[in-house]
Amino acid sequence: MAPWVEAEFSALNPLRTLWLTLAAAFLLILLLQLLPPGLLPGCAIFQDLIRYGKTKCGAPPRPAACRAFDVPKRYFSHFYIISVLWNGFLLWCLTQSLFLGAPFPSWLHGLLRILGAAQFQGGELALSAFLVLVFLWLHSVRRLFECLYVSVFSSVMIHIVQYCFGLVYYVLVGLTVLSQVPMDGRNAYVTGKNLLMQTRWFHILGMMMFIWSSAHQYKCHVILSNLRKNKAGVVIHCNHRIPFGDWFEYVSTPNYLAELMIYISMAVTFGFHNLTWWLVVTYVFFSQALSAFLSHQFYKKKFVSYPKHRKAFLPFLF
């Protein structure tokens, strides 16, 4: 087979197609929300599927059939339980392969091949995927901790479809990372057989960006939770108030912006050139931008005194 044909086939592997499709879908939904109100699709089911939590308050009236599929937003913690367990398992498999030479389970290797993992991927470093998988697992551990011990959830809901999507998402994103590991049969392939010798400047930069973004996201979640507590740290209500401090001075949803920056830090750790992961980043950008825009609308409608200089998602831009 000609090299250019092989390159085209590789570019259209299932994982890239999946993330590209998701990114395009959320871009289209975001563009629809930017239309003038008279042109915006008013279908209650459509709006119900793209909104969750407080943003459902600004949606068209919800028929009883829609409310029958609600689950509490506090079930967000289930996403991170799945991620900690599943991506922890993937990290354990990768660690065993990299440091002890143990092959991946045959079923996992077969799944990775179906999803588009290739043998000896050109220019890819095993250390990059290892670090990104560590970052993803640590991110999930922190978010689980926040859901259980920091966040104060009200009685708001999410749709069962959104809930199921969230569960599947963290399984897919972990497999996406693992599929970027250069493989030699069922084993991870390490150039020179020394993982530490693969350390590059972008690994250090990516790690610094990950820590910086994670710290800001945690701080923003603490600010949000403190809005519902008294000075002694006791929850006194579940109402929405205007948050101030840190990145809230620039955007309405800095926690979503920090989420995007965390995924960008992983793209940096991959060495900037990993197309598959940039498609993941593109999906995260449009999905978080959609949620940010809907949250921004909610705040502006609810609070007459809402700061006019704040943008929804990107400081000074959007």
Q: Residue 4: its pLDDT value, please?
A: 37
Is pLDDT at 197 greater than 80 in this prediction? yes
Question: Encoding tokens for residue 316?
Answer: 């000074």
Partners of 311 in the β-ladder: 251
Per-residue pLDDT, averaged over 93-107, amounts to 94
Phi, psi of 316 (to 5 degrees): 70, -5
Q: Residue 91: its pLDDT value, please?
A: 98
Q: Report the length, in residues, of the chain.
A: 318
Q: Residue 129 burial by CB count (10 A; 0-12/13-18/19+): exposed, middle or buried?
A: buried
Per-position b or e across 36-74, b if 16+ CB within 10 A of its CB: eeeeeeeeeeebbbbbbbbbbeebeebeeebeebbeebb
Q: Give the Cα separation of 60 and 311 in Å (integer).
A: 24
Per-residue pLDDT, averaged over 271-282, amounts to 96
Give the H or E element holding residue 184.
Answer: strand 183-184
Alpha carbon 180 to its chain's center? 18
Q: Residue 228: its pLDDT value, please?
A: 95
Out of 46-55, 134-143, 153-162, pick the least confident: 46-55
Q: Residue 5: its pLDDT value, please?
A: 39
Q: Give the Cα separation of 90 and 104 in Å (integer).
A: 9
Residue 60, classed as helix, strand or coil, is coil
Percent of the chain at pLDDT above 90? 69
Per-residue pLDDT, averaged over 191-215, amounts to 91
Is residue 221 a contact partner of residue 179, using CB atoms and an 8 Å limit?
Answer: no
Distances in Å between the alpha carbon of 285 and those of 5, 221, 259?
31, 19, 9
Out of 43-52, 86-95, 108-117, 208-217, pick the least confident: 43-52
Q: Residue 316: its pLDDT value, please?
A: 94
* pLDDT tens, residue by residue, 9-39: 456 789 999 999 999 999 999 998 888 776 6
Q: Where are the domains of the chain?
A: 65-198, 200-317
Is residue 188 a contact partner of residue 98, using CB atoms and an 8 Å limit?
Answer: yes
The better pLDDT of the pair 194, 240 is held by: 240
Which residue in 209, 35, 34, 66 sits closest to 139, CA to CA? 209
Q: Residue 8: its pLDDT value, please?
A: 40
Phi, psi of 27 (to 5 degrees): -65, -45
Q: Give the Cα separation of 311 and 247 in Å (integer).
A: 11
